[in-house]
Amino acid sequence: MECMKKMGEITHHRIKTNGIWMHVAEKGEGPVVLLLHGFPEFWFSWRHQITYLTNHGYRVLVPDLRGYGNSDAPPSPSSYTIFHIVADLIGVLDHFNQQQVFVVGHDWGAHAAWHLGLFRPDRVKGIVALSVVFSARSPDISPIQSLTKSFGDSFYMTQFQESGRAERAFAKYDCLTLMKKFLLINHGDVLVAPPGMEIIDHLQIPSSLPPWITEDELQVYADKFQETGFTGGLNYYRAIDLNWELQAPWQGAKIRVPSKLIVGDKDIGYESWKKAYVHGDVMKGLIPGVEVVIMEGHHFIQLEKHQEVSDHILSFLNKLA
């Protein structure tokens, strides 16, 4: 497809790491930047940043995280803890003989970036996280219990907990429609369906595509998820409470790696809770010195505002490099 050709020549690797086979796209020469995607995406979501960063003297490594794209997808949700994800990434760095790299993540990729910096700060030069904050761990209540208490049983993460439920709901639609429902979310409300409705049925498709994505690009996502299905990606949500249990020893631990957070002002849940957290003392206490950028935009900010986001990433990397 034309959108693939625009990136120029990409080298694709299939490597063994942490007991799975992982696909990694690579391009460029220079200091290494690890680009980590979220749900429901794969390496292709970084197409704008791949071109931009490699044109400005950086080398990018862009994996399909476990469960996605051409990487292995273990069936059990217990294989998707943050410890598995971070271990996968350490294996990628070891494979490419990189002792320390910059890490840029969006959505679940941001969650992985934060925890790579938390668990292995010796391997991280700096973090840029898009759309997802590093959250304080409650010592008393698990995240899914807390979120369900706040938003009810129709909250999307709550619906995603039951194995097979979301997959059955998704199966009513073709993959292109599913991609439009997710990637084109254009409201900042918390994702809660009306009682008795599945969240995928509640999500609307805009009458026309926004200027930042094409039908061809959406089809690339659709074709990949037609191959893989969605269970791998959904298993990240199903491991949320297990992560909470396993991370008890890191209660209150700080991220001391230089960090930057970029959030859209119309991101999911920004007004209802994220805004207060981002500008409050708790997050700043957990990530001393974190830079915060709030820009106009929605959740998939690296696509919608790709030039502005790329400029912010580059300025942060250049400052540290």
Write down the pLDDT at residue 202.
96
Residue 228 near residue 170 (C-beta atoms within 8 A):
no
What confidence tier does 8 reach under pLDDT thresholds 50, 70, 90? confident
Look up 202 and say whether it is catalytic.
Answer: no
- Residue 155, pLDDT > 80, answer yes
Is position 52 annotated as part of the catalytic site? Answer: no
Give me the count of residues in the chain.
321
**Are 114 and 249 in contact, with CB atoms under 8 Å apart?**
no
Q: If DSSP codes are grouped into helix, strand and coil, which group holds residue 60? A: strand
Contact between residue 118 and residue 255 where contact means Cβ atoms under 8 Å apart: yes
Asked if residue 5 has pLDDT above 80, the reply is no
237 is catalytic: yes
The rounded distance, in Å, linking the Cα atoms of 148 and 95 is 40
Specify the range with the lowest mean pLDDT, choosing from 3-17, 158-172, 247-261: 3-17
Residue 310 corresponds to which tokens in the numbers above? Answer: 């790329």
pTM over 0.85: yes
Catalytic residue (choose from 64, 72, 88, 107): 107
CA–chain centroid gap for 47, Å, is 15
Cβ-contact 301, 106 below 8 angstroms: yes
Q: Higher pLDDT residue, 3 or 200?
A: 200
- Would the pLDDT of 1 be above 70? no
Q: What is the mean pLDDT of the chain?
A: 96
Which 8-state DSSP code applies to residue 271?
A: I
Rounded to an integer, the average pLDDT of 220-242 is: 98
The torsion angle over the Cα atoms of residues 253, 262, 24 and 156, rounded to 10 degrees, is 80
102 vs 272, residue with greater confidence: 102
Residue-wise pLDDT tens digits, 279-301: 999 999 999 999 999 999 999 99
Local confidence band at 272 (pLDDT 50, 70, 90 cut-offs): confident
Residue 55 CB neighbour total at 10 angstroms: 12
Tokens read off for 150:
């706040």
Instruction: For residue range 121-151, list pLDDT tens digits in order.
Output: 999 999 999 999 999 899 999 999 999 999 9
176 burial class (0-12, 13-18, 19+ CB within 10 angstroms)?
middle
Q: Given the residues 237, 270, 298, 312, select the one marked as catalytic.
A: 237
Of 48, 299, 306, 312, the catalytic one is 299
Q: Which of 114, 21, 1, 13 is nearest to 60 (CA)?
A: 13
* Half-sphere exposure (Cβ direction) of 208: Cα atoms closer than 13 Å: 2
